[in-house]
């Protein structure tokens, strides 16, 4: 099954990373790794924010990532009308996580809520495009269970936490 990466994994993709070796190997086999448009949005936001703060490395990383996408090493899955409808249904069914103990110390409450909506969009996009999801994010298994409730006849969203492990149904 084709594989899409969530932001937790995709953000580790760098020129000298083991993730690049994995992505390159998949591409050579004719099975490129995909990011969702929402994943690219989150990565782009972080790199632009760092670039505005004066990080030349962040600007170079963003240009490098765009070059990999342009070369076809990474496919981008669009957040289309089907994914939007499913993400809206998920948002209506699953309350926004609120415990402050789980909130990232680097993000505000508002940014955590945006990240939650992006997680819903990522899961819905991967689901409608028929991909498995590679993610270390604890929210995705919860979301996958709700997807199975919303679409019981559809194949389940399969999630793996590492590129080297097998994909396990949620």
pLDDT of amino acid 6: 93
User: Residue 126: CB partners within 8 Å, gap ≥ 6?
Assistant: 4, 36, 77, 132, 133, 157
| Domain total of the chain | 1
Q: What is the pLDDT of residues 25-57, one digit of tens each?
A: 999 999 889 999 999 999 999 999 999 999 999
Q: CATH number for the domain including 138?
A: 3.40.50.1010
- Domain encompassing residue 19: 3-169
What length does the chain have? 170
Q: What is the pLDDT of residues 90-138, one digit of tens each?
A: 999 998 876 554 555 677 888 888 989 999 999 999 999 999 999 888 8
Kindly report the pTM of this predicted structure: 0.87
């Amino acid at each position: 099954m084709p594989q899409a990466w969530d932001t937790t994994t995709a953000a580790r993709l760098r020129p000298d990373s083991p993730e690049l070796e994995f992505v390159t190997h998949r591409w050579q086999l004719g099975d490129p790794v995909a990011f969702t448009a929402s994943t690219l949005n989150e990565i782009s936001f972080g790199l632009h924010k760092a670039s505005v703060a004066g990080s030349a490395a962040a600007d170079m990383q963003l240009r490098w990532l765009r070059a990999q996408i342009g070369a076809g090493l990474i496919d981008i899955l669009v957040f289309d009308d089907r994914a939007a409808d499913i993400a809206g249904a998920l948002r209506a069914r699953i309350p926004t996580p609120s415990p402050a103990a789980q909130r990232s110390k680097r993000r505000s409450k508002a940014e955590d809520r945006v990240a939650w909506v992006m997680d819903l969009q990522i899961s819905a996009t991967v689901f409608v495009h028929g991909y498995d999801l590679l993610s270390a994010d604890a929210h995705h298994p919860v979301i996958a269970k709700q997807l199975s409730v919303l679409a019981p006849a559809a194949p389940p969203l399969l999630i793996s936490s590492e590129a080297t492990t097998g994909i396990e149904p949620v």
